Amino acid sequence: MARYSFPAWSKDLQERVNATGGEGMPGIVQNFDLFNLAGRLVVKDGFLAELETLLRLYEKTAVARKKPLAKNEYLVPVTYAPLPSFAELEQEFGKGNVSNIFDGRPFTKHTSCSDISETPGNLIFLVKHFGREINSDDAIAEMNRLSYRPATHIEVYEFQKAHPDLQRQFSIVALGSFAMDVSNLCVAVLRSNSDRRIFGHCWFDYGWVDVACRFLFVRK
């Protein structure tokens, strides 16, 4: 079987469809063998993976057009670049304002985030105020029923880049990923103290008794 480059088989396809005397479905039906061949070549050449990436990116950038932003929702571009080093984070937040869990140790995603796409694009974040005492698992389960998932430490970091002053109003917790500190699962928390912006942490298993704190979720 002859091997086509992408431009070659697309040109051949166009010429053969045009030769049927029409466009659209008649040409597709009469040339299904070539469409099938083209599909297999796309997969073989690795183009399909790039196409899927482009489609996911389009879905993220178009998501705001599908549904207007609700109250306390924010459209924020997310690159999924690796978190800066501890030293760089201290330059950004100030010395003593960064938790030691961001010292380069690995983070593990919560099961609700295990299969998320990390293709750069726009995400819709919700800053959720439950207004009552709640534990982490119940918060995630409740929001999952509303088609939201918890934000990861990478996502909450990029969120604060776009909205740096929100954490001065209330603490913002990201339950979507955690790092180990001794034997404790620790999640990222944006908070403040005497107007200092802090990139801190708290235990995942902590009962969230501070009814003023907020949780960062991502619209699915």
CATH classification of the domain holding 124: 3.10.100
Whether residue 63 lies inside any domain: the answer is: no
Q: Say yes or no: 203 and 148 in one domain.
A: yes
Query: 83 and 28 share a domain?
Result: no
Query: What is the enclosing helix (H) or strand (E) of 140?
Result: helix 136-144
Task: Tell me how far apart the alpha carbons of residues 101 and 107 are, in angstroms, rounded to a whole number.
Answer: 9
Instruction: Decide which of 132 and 12 is more confident.
Output: 132
Q: What integer pLDDT is reported at residue 82 of this predicted model? A: 96
Q: Are residues 172 and 88 in the same domain?
A: yes
In a domain, 58, yes or no: no
**Residues 16 and 117 both lie in one domain:** no
C-alpha torsion angle, residues 89, 91, 94, 96 (rounded to 10):
60
Owning domain of residue 153: 68-219
Flag whether pLDDT at 13 surpasses 90.
Answer: no
Query: Quick one: pLDDT at residue 1?
Result: 44
pTM over 0.85, yes/no: no
21-35, 38-52, 77-91, 177-191: which range is least confident on average?
Answer: 21-35
10 and 85 belong to one structural domain:
no
Confidence of residue 30 (pLDDT cuts 50, 70, 90): low
pLDDT of residue 218: 98
Mean pLDDT of all residues belonging to the chain:
84
Is residue 57 pLDDT above 70, yes or no?
Answer: no
Cα→Cα distances 186→8, 20, 60, 125, 205, Å: 54, 64, 29, 21, 8
Instruction: Please state the domain count of the chain.
Output: 2
Q: Are residues 35 and 87 in the same domain?
A: no
> Is residue 72 domain-shared with residue 36, that is, in the same domain?
no
